[in-house]
């Protein structure tokens, strides 16, 4: 049989890609043999041509680790007719030896082996439009963190230089325009260099605040779009949920129907404990570190607000506090919020708790 007569119909070819900015390490197997291992340019078109030329009519199963390149590779290969999974790196089994002798070749081979198991599952690949809106919401969060760092730098400069504010000015207060002007008018002990440093820090803070304002305005405009307006309106009827927090919950969760069970939903948000059971010893290490950080923060922040506004939830929170710390109690409140939605149907449960929170979206 000549090369032009090759036909791999009915054969599954597995392809693991260790993705980097400059190059990709590609490992190809057929379930029995390791067929190829090579380095190529970071281009899905190049890989597609190579696979079609070497293994015509085969069924391809491709996978790479979720990382800096996002879902662009998956979408490109999908458009080329290839099945591609984006795999959570933490789900790929790794031996101690592999950790100590890490190589691109080994990483690509592990991906290929993982694709051949039934445990190989892709992370959720969002719609491109929803992904872009989610990026806007996350940009706003990064600007909030940057603004906090700017304020802390200013407070550090004042304390380090021995400068003090009037008693009415507190570190935790809102930084109004009047308060910022007061900082600008400080004489800094007559030192022009210290004065210039303070002014530069304040300019950085004002610039970040302006960017944050623009991000919030952009989020509000997005929330008014027909595709999101109804879901945002329903979320805002919940006590303690504002427009920005509603946007965070909506665009991080996206489609509630992708969670088969209530436990899967809680696991995604990180509202479950880490456990370590061995024999008769059972240990709980606190809340899990594997989570959607943005969603969990929004849920917990909203829960702190809702317990102050809903007497029934306040009573439930107080009962929790009798047998656990406050931070653990508020996690229980946040977790209870999920029970108002049935993940299988995406609709409200008939017996929802009085905690209206938080996942009323995607009705």
Compute CA 48 distance to the chain's CA centroid, rounded to the nearest angstrom.
Answer: 30
| 8 and 92 share one domain | yes
Residue 362 included in any domain: no
Residue 332 included in any domain: yes
Terminal-to-terminal C-alpha distance of the chain: 57
Greater model confidence, 107 or 273: 107
| 12 and 96 share one domain | yes
- Count of domains observed in the chain: 3
Residue 264's pLDDT band, with cuts at 50, 70 and 90, is confident
**Mean of pLDDT values over 112-131:** 93
- DSSP, res 351: T
Asked if pLDDT for residue 341 goes beyond 50, the answer is no
The answer for residues whose C-beta is within 8 angstroms of residue 262's C-beta and 6 or more apart is: 338, 339, 343
Look-up of token digits 């000015």: 169
**Model confidence pLDDT, tens digit, residues 294-309:** 999 998 888 888 888 8
**Mean of pLDDT values over 23-34:** 95
* C-alpha pair distances (Å), 185 with each of 170, 179, 196, 352: 17, 10, 12, 55
| 140 and 211 share one domain | yes
Domain boundary among 115, 146, 165: 115
Q: How do beta strands 34-40 and 24-29 pair? A: antiparallel
Among candidate residues 171, 132, 166, 114, the one with its CA nearest the CA of residue 148: 171
Would you say 291 and 269 are in contact if contact means Cβ atoms under 8 Å apart? yes
Residue 237's pLDDT band, with cuts at 50, 70 and 90, is confident
| 185 and 93 share one domain | no
| 181 and 208 share one domain | yes
- DSSP, res 39: E
| 73 and 103 share one domain | yes
Residue 326 included in any domain: yes
Look-up of token digits 């919020």: 337
**Mean pLDDT over all residues of the chain?**
86
Q: How is the chain split among helix, strand and coil, in percent rounded to 5?
A: 55, 15, 35
Greater model confidence, 310 or 267: 267
Among candidate residues 58, 60, 54, 59, the one with its CA nearest the CA of residue 4: 54
Among candidate residues 66, 52, 60, the one with its CA nearest the CA of residue 19: 66
Residue 213 included in any domain: yes
Domain boundary among 85, 115, 145: 115
| 192 and 263 share one domain | no
Residue 241 included in any domain: no
Among candidate residues 219, 228, 256, 277, the one with its CA nearest the CA of residue 358: 256
Residue 265's pLDDT band, with cuts at 50, 70 and 90, is confident
Residue 18 included in any domain: yes
Q: How do beta strands 59-65 and 83-87 pair? A: parallel
| 107 and 161 share one domain | no
What's the CA gap between 319 and 158, in Å, rounded? 43
| 69 and 135 share one domain | no
Domain boundary among 115, 136, 163: 115
Domain that holds residue 302: 253-275+287-348
| 68 and 152 share one domain | no
Residue 55 included in any domain: yes
Q: What is the reported pLDDT for 129? A: 92
Q: How do beta strands 34-40 and 347-348 pair? A: unpaired
| 29 and 75 share one domain | yes
| 94 and 162 share one domain | no
What's the CA gap between 61 and 31, in Å, rounded? 11
The DSSP string of 275-343 is: EEEETTEEEEEEE-S-S-HHHHHHHHHHHHHHHHH-HHHHHHHHHHHTTS-HHHHHHHHHHHGGGGEET
Residue 144 included in any domain: yes
Q: What is the reported pLDDT for 363? A: 29
The CATH number linked to 34 is 3.30.420.40
């Amino acid at each position: 049989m000549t090369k032009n007569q090759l036909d791999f119909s009915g054969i599954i070819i597995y392809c693991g890609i260790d993705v980097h900015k400059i190059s990709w390490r590609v490992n190809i197997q057929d379930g029995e043999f390791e067929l190829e291992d090579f380095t190529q340019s970071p281009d899905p078109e190049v890989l597609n041509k190579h696979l079609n030329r070497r293994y015509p009519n085969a069924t391809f199963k491709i996978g790479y680790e979720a990382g800096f390149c996002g879902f662009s590779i998956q979408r490109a290969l999908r458009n080329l007719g290839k099945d591609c999974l984006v795999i959570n790196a933490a789900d790929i089994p790794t031996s101690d030896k592999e950790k100590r002798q890490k190589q691109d070749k080994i990483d690509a081979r592990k991906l290929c082996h993982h694709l051949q198991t039934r445990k190989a599952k892709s992370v959720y690949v969002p719609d491109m439009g929803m992904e872009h809106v989610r990026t806007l919401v996350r940009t706003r969060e990064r600007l909030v963190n940057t603004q906090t760092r700017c304020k802390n730098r200013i407070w550090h400069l004042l304390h380090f230089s021995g400068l003090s504010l009037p008693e009415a000015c507190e570190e935790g207060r809102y930084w109004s325009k009047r308060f910022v002007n007061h900082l600008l008018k400080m004489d800094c002990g007559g030192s022009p260099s210290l004065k210039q440093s303070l002014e530069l820090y304040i300019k950085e803070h004002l610039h970040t605040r302006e960017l944050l304002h623009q991000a919030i305005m952009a989020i509000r405009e997005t929330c008014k779009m027909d595709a999101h307006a109804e879901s945002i309106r329903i979320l805002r009827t919940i006590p303690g949920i504002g427009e920005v927090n509603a946007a965070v919950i909506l665009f991080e969760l996206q489609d509630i129907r992708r969670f088969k069970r209530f436990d899967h939903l809680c696991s995604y948000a990180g509202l479950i404990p880490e456990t370590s059971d061995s024999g008769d010893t059972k240990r709980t290490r606190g809340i899990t570190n594997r989570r959607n950080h943005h969603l969990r923060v929004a849920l917990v922040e909203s829960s702190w607000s809702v317990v102050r506004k809903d007497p029934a939830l306040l009573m439930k929170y107080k009962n929790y506090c009798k047998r656990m710390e406050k931070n653990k109690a508020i996690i229980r409140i946040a977790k209870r919020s999920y029970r108002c939605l049935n993940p299988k149907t995406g609709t409200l449960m008939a017996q929802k708790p009085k905690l209206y929170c938080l996942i009323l979206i995607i009705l």
